[in-house]
Amino acid sequence: MANIIKYPRPMVTVDIVIFSIQNDNLKVLLIKRNIQPYKGSWALPGGFVHIEEDLDSAAKRELEEETGVKDIYLEQLYTFGDTKRDPRGRVITVAYFALIKSEDQKLDPKTDVSDADWFLAYKPLKLAFDHSKILDYALKRLQWKLEYTTVAFQFLPKKFTLTQLQKIYEIILNKTFDKRNFRKKIISLEVLEETGDITKGVSHRPAKLFQCKTKIGEILELI
Amino acid sequence: MANIIKYPRPMVTVDIVIFSIQNDNLKVLLIKRNIQPYKGSWALPGGFVHIEEDLDSAAKRELEEETGVKDIYLEQLYTFGDTKRDPRGRVITVAYFALIKSEDQKLDPKTDVSDADWFLAYKPLKLAFDHSKILDYALKRLQWKLEYTTVAFQFLPKKFTLTQLQKIYEIILNKTFDKRNFRKKIISLEVLEETGDITKGVSHRPAKLFQCKTKIGEILELI
DNA sequence: CCATGATAGTGTATTAAGTACAGGAATTTA
DNA sequence: TAAATTCCTGTACTTAATACACTATCATGG
C-alpha cells in the first residue's frame, strides 16, 4: 500500500431506489434530469457523497431532500462501479433501497431537479446511466426480502389489516395467496399482535387491525 | 445535481475477506501492515481501486496479487464508508469476500507487505481500521450462503466426497449433522452427480467422488 | 488369510410445515 | 329484513425435516 495521495480519485455518489405501493401497484420514484448527460432522461434520485458525511447519512439526506420523508426503512443495496457507467468520468455509486409507506405518498418530492414522479416499478423503463440495472437489482432484493423477512410492514401504516398485508405480498411477488394459508403463515411468525381496534366506516364486516410486535429492523438487517 | 467537479473526492479501496478451510478450521487470510497507520497490525488484504478499473476487476487483481489464485468465487459484500474509518482521510472501501479451495492453500501470498498468514476466522482478532467489523459481516454472509445456497463446493476440489462436504458445513456452521439426513438433503438438491471415481489409498472403504452438475455461479448470485 | 480398525453407505418411522379447499359471521345500504 | 360485501376460520392431504443404528468395503498387521 504505497503513498495514498498519488492515486487519482473517483467520484462517489449514492442513488436510492425508493419504492412505494400506490393504487395497488408497486411504484418507484424517479427524477427527470435537467442537465447533461442524459438531460431529459428519468433517473434514480441520488447525489454526491459529501466528504464529511457517512454513506448512510448521505443516503438519508438525499432521500429526505427528494421526498421529505425520514425515519424509514433504508438499506444498502450494492455498489456499482464499472468504469464506463458515467460519461463524465469515474463515478462509483453506492445504491440504497428504501420503502415508504402508502400514507406518505402525497409528499411530493421537493427537489431541485426539473421533475419527479412515481412510475410502475415493473414496467421496463429506459433510465439514465446504469439505473435500469440498479432498479432490477433492487426489485430482486425486494422480492427476496419479502419472502424471507418481514419487510412488507414497511409499506403499511402502523396499524393494518391482514388483507392489506396480503395485498402487499401479492403486488410485489405478482401472485395470489390463499387467504387462510397466508394468515396461518403470518400468525405463526409471531411478529404481529392485535391492537383491539377495527376498521371503521366500511360497508361490510370490519377487519381487525394489527401492528408489529417489535421495533422494526432487527429481523431485517441480517442478510 | 450541480457541477460535479467541485466536490472533494474520497479515496476508494477494495478489501477482500479470503476464506479457506485448513486442517478442519475456517481460516481467513490477513496481511501485516508495514506502514502507518496501524503499522504492525494485521489487516485484510486490499488496495486502491485504479481509476480505469472496474470494481470487480480491482478485487480480482488484489486477490491474485495477494494469493496468486484466480477464477474463484468472489462476491461483493458491502461498502463501508464511515467518515472516520481511516485516519488518513476519507476512504470508502468496497468489501468483497472470496472462497478458495483447500488444495490452493499452499500458494503463499506473494505480496509487497511485510507478512501474510492464515488466521482462525472465528477467533476474535484486533485488526486495523474497521476490518474486524468487515470480517464479522463476511462471516455472517458466509454462514447464510451455506444455508441457502450451494456455495460450500467452492472450498472443495472439483471432485469430492459427501463426507468432505458435510465437514465444510460443520466447520462453518459450527454444528454437527446426521450423516443420513445430510446426504438425503444434498442429494435432493439435485446439484451433484457421481463421477464414477472413488477415493484411492485409504485404509477403509473408499468413498464415491461427486462433482457439481452445473457451472457454479448461477444459483449463488441471486441474493 | 483372517481379524481388526476405520470410514462409507443406507432406510424407516415420526414430526413439522406447506398446500388445497368452502362456508358462516359482521357490517352497511336499500 | 334482504342483499351486498368483506372478514374470518378449520380440516384433510402432501411434502419436507428430524431422529435414529446397522451393514459394507477397504487396508493393515498378525
For residue range A103-112, list pLDDT tens digits in order: 776 555 555 5
**CB of A104 closer than 8 Å to CB of A20:** yes
With beta carbons less than 8 A apart as the criterion, state whether A91 and A11 touch.
Answer: yes
- A52, B90: Cβ pair inside 8 Å? yes
| Range of lowest pLDDT (A12-26, A75-89, A125-139, B63-77) | B63-77
Q: Where are the domains of chain B?
A: 4-148, 151-212
Cα B145 to the chain's mean position, in Å?
A: 11
Of B50, B92, B144, B219, which to mutate for an interface test with A (greatest number of A Cβ within 10 Å)? Answer: B92
CA distances (Å), origin B221, targets B13, B148, B187 = 22, 12, 21
The share of chain A scoring above pLDDT 90, in percent, equals 78
Please report the pLDDT score of residue B36 as a whole number: 86
A54/B83 Cβ within 8 A? yes
Q: Does residue B190 reach within 7 angstroms of strand D, measured from its CB?
A: no
Residue B1 has pLDDT above 70, yes or no: no
Query: What residues form DSSP beta bridges with A16?
Result: A96
A69-91 pLDDT, tens digit each: 888 899 999 999 999 999 999 99
To the nearest whole angstrom, how far is the Cα of A122 from the nearest Cα of chain B?
Answer: 18
Name which of A1-15, A60-74, B12-26 the model is least confident about: A1-15
Q: Please, which residues bridge with residue A29 across strands?
A: A118
Residue A185 Cβ under 7 A from any strand D atom = no
Beta bridge partners of B134: none
Residue B143 phi, psi dihedral angles, 5° rounding: -60, -45
CA of B24 vs C1' of C7, distance in Å? Answer: 17
CATH topology (fold) of A8-148 = Nucleoside Triphosphate Pyrophosphohydrolase (3.90.79)
Per residue in B31-64, pLDDT tens?
A: 999 998 999 999 999 999 999 999 999 999 999 9
Is residue B1 within 8 A of residue A91, CB to CB? The reply is: no
pLDDT of residue A109: 55
- The pLDDT value recorded for residue A186 is 97
A3 at the B interface (CB within 8 A)?
Answer: no
Q: How confident is the model at residue A58 (pLDDT cuts 50, 70, 90)?
A: very high
Quick check: B31 and B115 in contact, CB under 8 A? yes
Whether the pLDDT of residue A221 is over 70: the answer is: no
- The answer to whether the CB atoms of A47 and B1 lie below 8 A apart is yes
Mode of pairing for the β-strands spanning B11-22 and B91-100? parallel
pLDDT in tens, A167-201: 999 999 999 999 999 999 999 999 999 999 999 99
Quickly give A179 CA vs D8 C1' distance in Å.
Answer: 10
What confidence score (pLDDT) does residue A53 get?
97
Q: How far is B9 from chain A (nearest CA, A)?
A: 6
pLDDT mean over B1-17:
81
Instruction: Name beta bridge partners: A100.
Output: A20
Percent above pLDDT 90 for chain B: 79
Residue B222 has pLDDT above 80, yes or no: no
Contact check, Cβ <8 Å, A79/B90: no
Residue with the larger pLDDT of the pair B150 and A5:
B150
pLDDT of residue A1: 46
Q: Å from B185 (CA) to D17 (C1')?
A: 9
User: What's the pLDDT at A170?
Assistant: 97
Check pLDDT > 60 for residue A3. Answer: no
Grid cell at residue A33: 434530469
Which of B14, B32, B83, B131 is the best mutation test for A, with the most CBs of A within 10 A?
A: B83
Share above pLDDT 70 across residues of chain B, in percent, rounded to a whole number: 89
Assess whether A159 (CB) lies less than 7 A from strand D. no
Nucleic strand D within 7 A of Cβ A61: no
What topology does CATH give the domain B4-148?
Nucleoside Triphosphate Pyrophosphohydrolase (3.90.79)
pLDDT of residue B115: 85
Q: Give the pLDDT of residue B103.
A: 72
Cβ atoms B20, B27 nearer than 8 A = yes
**Nearest 5°: phi and psi at A201?**
70, 20
At position A78, the amino acid (one-letter code) is Y
Closest alpha carbon to C1' of C29, residue: A203
In this model, does residue B101 exceed pLDDT 60?
yes
User: What would be the CATH architecture of the domain defined by B151-212?
Assistant: Orthogonal Bundle (1.10)
pLDDT at A92 exceeding the cut of 80: yes
* pLDDT (0 to 100) of residue A214: 77
- Strand intervals (E) in chain A: 11-22, 25-32, 42-43, 46-48, 73-80, 91-100, 115-120, 192-198, 208-212
Report the pLDDT averaged over residues B142-155.
Answer: 94
> In angstroms, what CA-CA distances link B106 with A36, A48, B20, B160, B211?
52, 43, 11, 19, 23
What is the Cβ-side half-sphere exposure of residue A135, based on CA atoms within 13 angstroms? 25
Q: How far apart are the first and last CA of chain B?
A: 31
- Burial status of residue B27 (CB atoms within 10 A of its CB: 0-12, 13-18, 19 or more): buried
Give A209's contacts (C-beta < 8 A, 6+ positions apart): A159, A160, A161, A194, A195, A197, A198, A199
Exposure on the CB side of residue A60, measured as CA atoms within 13 A: 9
Q: How many residues does chain A have?
A: 223
* Confidence category of residue A217, pLDDT binned at 50, 70, 90: very low
Contacts B222 to A, Cβ<8 Å: 140, 144
Q: Do B223 and A222 touch (CB under 8 A)?
A: no
End-to-end CA separation in angstroms for chain A: 31
Task: Please give the pLDDT value at position B107.
Answer: 57
